[in-house]
Amino acid sequence: MHTLAELAQVAGAQLRGDAATPIDGVGTLAAARPGQIGFLANPKYRQLLAGTQASAVILGAEDAGACPVACLIADNPHLAYARVAALFDPAAGRQQGVHARACVDAAAEVADDAWIGPMAVIEAGAVIGPRVQVGPGCVVGARTTIGADSRLVANVTVLHDCVLGERVLVHPGAVIGADGFGLANDRGCWVKVPQLGRVVIGNDVEIGVNTAVDRGALEDTVLADGVKLDNLIQIAHNVRVGA
C-alpha cells in the first residue's frame, strides 16, 4: 500500500487531489477499481477517463482538466506509470540466502545478501554480487561474474567465464555463453573450432525467454549497457550490440 504522495515522488509527477489517498495496485482506465491507480498515455483511450472507477490516474497536463478523480500529472505518463507499477510488481521481491537444495561450489563467492534458489548450480570461481537473485534451476558456470542487483529468473544457464553487469534481468530458458557455430573444413569433413571468447554484458540489460547469446570465437560477444532483447533471439558469436 502506498499513498498518492509517495507515488507522485516516485513518478516525478505533480499531484492534484488528496495526497493521503491510499493506492494498492494499478489497472487500466476501464478495469481499475477504487484503491487502484490508472493511467492515460495514449489519446485513443481518452474517452474512458470520465467513467473510470480508479482512485487516481496518471496522465499528461493536456488531460488533467477532464480527470474526475485525483491525478498525477507527468511529462511522460507512460514512464511515470512504469515507475509506479514497479512498486506493485510481485516479481520484484528479493530473497536472501542459499536454498538447501542448491549446489554452490566451495570456491565460488556469493554475497551475503544474494539468493541462490532450489536446484541452482554455482560452479567454482563464480562470483555472485550483492543482492543478486539466482532462481530455481539456474546454472552459473566457472569463473563467471554476476553483478549487483541482477536477476536470473529460472532455468537460466550462464556458462563459464562470462561477465554480467549490474541490474541485468535474464528471463527463463535463456542461455548465455554457449559455443558459437564455428567449423573448419577438412576435405569434406567438419572440424569444430573451439570458441575461446566470452560473453560480456553491460549494466541494465534485459534478455528475454529462450534467447541465446553465444560466446565469441576469440574476441568477446558484447551486449552494451541498456540493451534489451525480446524472446527467442539468437546473438551469434563475436556480435556487438549497442554502443
Per-residue pLDDT of the chain (243 residues), as tens digits, is 999 999 999 999 999 999 999 999 999 999 999 999 999 999 999 999 999 999 999 999 999 999 999 999 999 999 999 999 999 998 878 899 999 999 999 999 999 999 999 999 999 999 999 999 999 999 999 999 999 999 999 999 999 999 999 999 999 999 999 999 999 999 999 999 999 999 999 999 999 999 999 999 999 999 999 999 999 999 999 999 998
Give catalytic status of residue 237 as yes or no. Answer: yes
- Distance between CA atoms of residues 27 and 32, nearest Å: 4
Taking alpha carbons only, the member of 56, 66, 14 closest to residue 32 is 56
Given a contact cutoff of 8 angstroms between Cβ atoms, the answer to whether 159 and 177 are in contact is yes
Write down the pLDDT at residue 188.
97
pLDDT of residue 51: 98
pLDDT value of residue 243 = 80
Selected catalytic residue, list 78, 160, 171, 237:
237
By C-alpha distance, which of 242, 234, 237, 181 is closest to 207? 234
Distance CA 102, CA 73 (A): 46
- Main-chain phi, psi angles of 48, to 5 degrees: -85, -10
Distances (CA, A) of 143 to 125, 138, 159, 235: 4, 15, 9, 22
DSSP-based three-state secondary structure for 1: coil
Determine the longest span between alpha carbons in the chain, in angstroms.
Answer: 79
Q: Are residues 118 and 209 both part of a single domain? A: yes
Domain-ending residue, one of 42, 68, 91: 91
C-alpha cell at 178: 554457449
Domain range holding 196?
A: 93-241
- Cell output for 11: 513518478
Asked if 77 and 98 sit in the same domain, the reply is: no
Last residue of a domain, one of 91, 120, 139: 91
Beta strands in 49-152 (DSSP E): 56-59, 70-73, 97-98, 103-104, 109-110, 115-116, 121-122, 127-128, 133-134, 139-140, 145-146, 151-152
Whether residue 25 is found in the same domain as residue 112? no
SS3 44: helix
Q: ∠ CA 23-28-29 to the nearest 5 degrees?
A: 90
Q: In whole angstroms, what is the distance from residue 214 CA to residue 64 CA? A: 49
Q: Given this model, what pLDDT does residue 93 score?
A: 81
The CATH number of whichever domain residue 156 belongs to comes to 2.160.10.10
pTM: 0.93
Residues 48 and 62 in one domain: yes
Given this model, what pLDDT does residue 170 score? 99
Q: How far apart are CA 39 and CA 82, in angstroms?
A: 10
Query: Which of 94, 88, 110, 105 has its CA nearest to residue 22?
Result: 88
Q: Which long-range contacts (CB under 8 A, 24 or more apart) does 41-47 make?
A: 41/77, 41/78, 41/81
| Res 178: pLDDT | 99
CATH code for the domain in which residue 60 is found: 3.40.1390.10
Instruction: Identify the three-state secondary structure at position 133.
Output: strand
